Amino acid sequence: MLRRIMLAAGLLLAGGAQAQQVAPPGPTLSAVRARGMLSCGISTGDPAWSQPDSRGVWQGMDADLCRAIAAAVLGSPDRLVWQHLTGQNRFPALVTGQVEVLTRTTTWTFMRDAQLGLNFTAPNFYDGQGFLVRADSGVTAAKQLDGASVCFVSASTHELNLTDWSRAQGIRFTPVIFADKDEARRAYESGRCDSYSGDASQLAAIRAAFPDPRAHALLPDRISKEPYAPAVKQGDDQWFDIVRYVVFGLVEAEELGITRANAEAMRAESPSPAVQRLLGRTGDLGPAVGLDRAWLLNAIKAVGNYGEIYDRHLGKDSPVGLPRGLNDLWTRGGLMVAPPMR
């Protein structure tokens, strides 16, 4: 018995020593390092998520997540190759290796996860499908759209959601389908359809970008649940963990009060063991996935914590002004929570 206990203790000690070594890079991390750039899949243009600003710099929730991953892996948020993908080509681009990560407002569903050769990592936004209508239409609820023409994007979850919802409600609509969001937006704006249906956050961002946002109304109805999550190709667990825990690290940073501005100071001065581990002053979070200890520090310094990213593009510091709701921290009644970072 004593021998077995001593052997078990020896294995635990060996495991602890091994955990302090930097894990060897897997195939995706090796490829990204060899290229010196991260290939990230975003949209062709989606307000608040991935869209060029007046200087041509891509901004938005999805774009900033790409920057955070690049900073964690390569030490710089600028070492990025933007791949602008449509709903039809986003999944093939991921599974064929054109991109290492897909952050393009993509809903995590069972069939996508099970059949497309990809893995969803961690939810970074909780949404639901809604409807945008003209304010002078008199429509105040989705049920009033019986007989209406509805614009939406193909190769998305929206068509099935609309079909299921309309059957359940006993109403009919005329579908007007487009290949990408920008086409659908222009069609709705020009009056080709009575309503534009999509994820509510995107509709709110589109509305805010119109010349007269008050001329359009986002109906209160939500006909689906749409959890967004960045996706990676199946078969590389290390890369899956890296992308997953960048998302969780940004959420944990907000919970711990770590911001873009104070991250360096908190790393040097905070007495909190959780802060010290997250920012790499102690522990081996980064080495466990083949990275250095400053990986999450670099990500936070590049884009801020989750709340900062949200407020900048969707929340109180943006034209959209969307309340946090389900996307608030779990400590404030939302769904954003990270597993223990230890």
Structure tokens at 125: 């936004």
Q: Which domain holds residue 153?
A: 128-225
pLDDT value of position 20: 63
Task: Give, in degrees to the nearest 5, the angle at Cα 32 between 296 and 20.
Answer: 45
Q: How far apart are CA 264 and CA 266, in angstroms?
A: 6
Same domain, 263 and 317: yes
Same domain, 318 and 238: yes
Q: How far apart are CA 296 and CA 276, in angstroms?
A: 11
The answer to whether the CB of 283 falls within 8 A of the CB of 276 is: yes
Same domain, 86 and 156: no
Identify the domain boundary among 171, 198, 225. Answer: 225
Same domain, 190 and 213: yes
pLDDT value of position 249: 98
Q: Is residue 11 assigned to a domain?
A: no
Same domain, 282 and 217: no
Element (H, E) at 112: helix 110-115
The answer to whether the CB of 252 falls within 8 A of the CB of 330 is: no
**pLDDT in 10s for each residue of the chain, 342 residues:** 433 333 333 333 333 434 468 999 999 999 999 999 999 999 998 999 999 999 999 999 999 999 999 999 999 999 999 999 998 999 999 999 999 999 999 999 999 999 999 999 999 999 999 999 999 999 999 999 999 999 999 878 999 999 999 999 999 999 999 988 888 999 999 999 999 999 999 999 999 999 999 999 999 999 999 999 999 999 999 999 999 999 999 999 999 999 999 999 999 999 999 999 999 999 999 999 999 999 999 999 999 999 999 999 999 999 999 999 999 999 999 999 999 999
Q: Is residue 242 assigned to a domain?
A: yes
pLDDT value of position 93: 98
Structure tokens at 214: 């008050």
Same domain, 149 and 292: no
Q: Is residue 340 assigned to a domain?
A: no
Domain count, the chain: 2
The distance of Cα 177 from the centroid of its chain, to the nearest Å, equals 25
Identify the domain boundary among 225, 260, 283. Answer: 225
Same domain, 67 and 101: yes
Q: Is residue 278 assigned to a domain?
A: yes
Report pTM.
0.91
Q: Is residue 5 assigned to a domain?
A: no
Burial of residue 18 (number of CB atoms within 10 Å: 0-12, 13-18, 19+): exposed
pLDDT value of position 37: 98
Domain harbouring 262, CATH code? 3.40.190.10
Q: Is residue 89 assigned to a domain?
A: yes
Identify the domain boundary among 191, 225, 259. Answer: 225
Q: Is residue 313 assigned to a domain?
A: yes
